[in-house]
Amino acid sequence: MKTITHYLLLCAIAVVCVFPFWWTLVTALSTEGNIFAYPPTFWPQKPSLDNFIEVFNAIPIWRFFRNSVFIAACTVFWKLVLCSAAAYPLARMQFKGRKLVFGLILATLVLPSEVNFLVNFITVTKLSLVDTYTGVILPNVVNAVAILLLKQAFEEVPQDLIDAARVDGASEWIIFSKIMLPLIAPWLATVGILTAVEAWNEYIWPSIVMSKPDEFPLSVGVLYLRGTFGSSTRVIAAGTVLTILPTLAAFLFTQRFFMRGMDGAVK
Amino acid sequence: MREDDGARRRLDFAAWLFLAPALILLAVFSFWPVAFGSLLAFTDYSLIRETHWVGLDNFRYIFDNEMFVTGLKNSLLFLLMVPFVQIGALSLAVLVNNKLPGIRYFRAAFYVPVVTTVSVVGIMWGFMFHEQGTLNYVLQTLQLVNAPVGWLSNDTIALFAIMFVTLWRGLGWYMVMYLAALQAVPADMQEAAILDGANRWQRFWKITVPMLRPTIMICSVLSVLAALKAYQEVDVLTQGGPMNSTFTGLYYAYDQGLKHLKLPRALAASFVVSIFCVGIALLCLRYIRPKHR
């Protein structure tokens, strides 16, 4: 009896969480009937993929898709390289100024980064990076959360391994790249996945930096449908579905990483 | 001794070499904006003219401007959401912290809104909130309202509709944080309490909540900051309307700065919001720092 109420509660909340997605999917698949019909239909009417084809004809969605993949891949790559490099000395080396550097990095967590957009826009303009992917990617590749997570990962590696390598005359670079990085691979994967989803979903900053529609990522490009298809809700819904699918797929396949990664973040 | 010094210095040098790229980027895109932005808020900066120091002019302007004042009030109203998000997320975490068959799928379902682009969220909830949309239908069928509600077109309701969407998006994120913390609560403590005859409710209040205290504090602070900084949902759902009723402090900054290119005003507005954020963060740190035993 207790289990049944438990499940009922879970289902009710799940419906609230997932319903907007379901309704969008139903709308995208329907070709008939009034979208805002009373009573609304929760099942596609005359289902077909016509609306999706319409999306492909209306906006360069493949281009948007490619742009998003490119942005996400570059962001993930550079974030893993730069943040793991920064995390390593913070975790495993004693040097002057370590505490100060660490404090500065922590401080970026409290300062509202949303506010940085305005001056970063000036900076990116001055560096002539407007309308370039470098301009979209660069401000996002270093972040405190990633450095903190990776620092924690490095701290778990046994000191003996490092000492042995140092005695053998290995340079810090060799120790870092050949010994440490492979050992923290699961953590790199976690940070990578989180970053990929974040970069894929990033909306405001790319819409500030990019002005040529051809170069928009999917998250920005999908809003274009609202402009060109102001009235055709079904096409907009189809575009929306196409935008979510990759994130949903990525999320479902890597769910275990996600949850475990979060596990580490709190401990 | 000498050799040791050399090795020491080499290690120091290596450490800074490793840190340099990340620090340079942080300096350019995190520290510089804060410092430079705070300065520019007191000038008439524009990309095309010479810049002059104007003192508090920008601040006077924005505080005389109804949009910003409404925005600031709305940002504070957003704080109302914090207890709902936190209690909701914690309850959700307790609910899914069970070894029931299929529980993984429920966790996933609750997390899906978190991994969705804000633009897509805007489109979907635009459908939901439409006057003839699903939400009104459901409410009318259940006879909770007798005429369609203008969720996004009524200037007293729109802000709350947006707040609900941020709640919908935020729950899953905090749920995962709480879930992780719950799973770190040692099982033997619970078992010992069961042996001592404590019921579910007592175990929750006497064992779980105290163990979760640090997580609750961190999540609450994060959620207060997030509430003060809300603006993306405004952009994709109402763009500040109807009748400027859904402006938030930061949305005003975004609107002025990046849509109308009035950067100094925008920076003054974000300066004010930042002061709120830093002030609240400091207050929290002061009061929630773990007590020394």
Low-confidence residues of chain A: pLDDT under 70: 1, 33-40, 112, 228-231, 256-267
pLDDT at residue A229 in the model: 60
Q: What is the pLDDT of residue A264?
A: 41
Which of B18, B36, B250 shows the shortest C-beta gap to A114? B250
User: Which residues in chain B have Cβ-Cβ distances shorter than 8 Å to A262?
Assistant: 176-177, 179-180
Give the torsion sign (CA, A56, A57, A58, A59).
Answer: positive
**d(Cα B115, Cα B96) in Å, to the nearest integer?**
19
Q: What is the pLDDT of residue A262?
A: 46
Which token pair is A147?
Answer: 């450095």
Q: How does pLDDT run across B24-33, given as a tens digit for each residue? A: 999 999 999 9
pLDDT at B218: 84
Q: Please report the ipTM that was assigned to this predicted complex.
A: 0.86
- Token readout for A138 is 């660069």
In tens, the pLDDT along B54-107 reads 889 999 999 999 999 999 999 999 999 999 999 999 999 999 888 788 888 888
Measure the CA–CA gap between A83 and A149, rounded to whole angstroms.
Answer: 9
The answer to whether residue A228 neighbours chain B at the CB level (below 8 Å) is no
* pLDDT surpasses 50 at B156: yes
Mean pLDDT of B270-282: 88
Asked whether the predicted pLDDT for residue B290 surpasses 70, the reply is no
Which one of B106, B115, B141 has the shortest CB-CB distance to A247? B115
Q: How far is B54 from chain A (nearest CA, A)?
A: 18
To the nearest whole Å, the CA of A67 is away from the closest chain B CA by 15
Which residues of chain B lie closer than 8 angstroms to A98, CB-CB?
Answer: 15
pLDDT of res. A267: 34
| Residue A104 in tokens | 């500065």
**CB < 8 Å to A80, chain B:** none
Mean pLDDT of B203-220: 87
- From chain A residues 157-216, the ones with a CB under 8 A of any chain B CB are 171-173, 176, 197, 200-201, 203-204, 208
What pLDDT is stored for residue A266 in this prediction? Answer: 38
- Residue A145 contacts B, CB cutoff 8 Å: no
Residue B174 has a pLDDT of 92
Say if CB B75 and CB B228 are below 8 A apart.
Answer: yes
Q: Closest Cα to residue A189, out of A92, A264, A266, A254?
A: A254
Q: What is the CA radius of gyration of chain B?
A: 24
What's the CA gap between B264 and B257, in Å, rounded? 8
Rounded to the nearest 5°, which phi and psi values hold at B43? -125, 180
| Residue A94 and residue A153 in contact, taking contact as beta carbons nearer than 8 Å | no
Note the pLDDT tens digit of each residue in B237-251.
Answer: 999 888 889 999 999
Neighbours of B259 (CB within 10 A): 13
Q: State how far residue A236 is from chain B, nearest Cα, in angstroms.
A: 8
Q: Is the dihedral of CA B3, B4, B6, B11 positive or negative?
A: positive
Per-residue pLDDT, B1: 47
Query: pTM of the entire structure?
Result: 0.85
Nearest to B237 by CA among B141, B142, B133: B133
* DSSP letter string, A124-178: HHHTT-TTSHHHHHGGGS--HHHHHHHHHHHHTS-HHHHHHHHHTT--HHHIIII
Q: How many residues make up chain A in this entry?
A: 267
Residue B238 to residues A21, A118, B129, B244, Cα–Cα distance (Å): 20, 21, 11, 9
Give chain B's mean pLDDT: 87
Record: contact B124-A121, CB cut-off 8 A: no
The per-residue pLDDT for B48 is 76
For chain B, percent of residues with pLDDT exceeding 90: 39
Distance from CA of A157 to the nearest CA of B (A): 18
Say what percent of chain B tops pLDDT 70: 97
B45: which DSSP letter? -
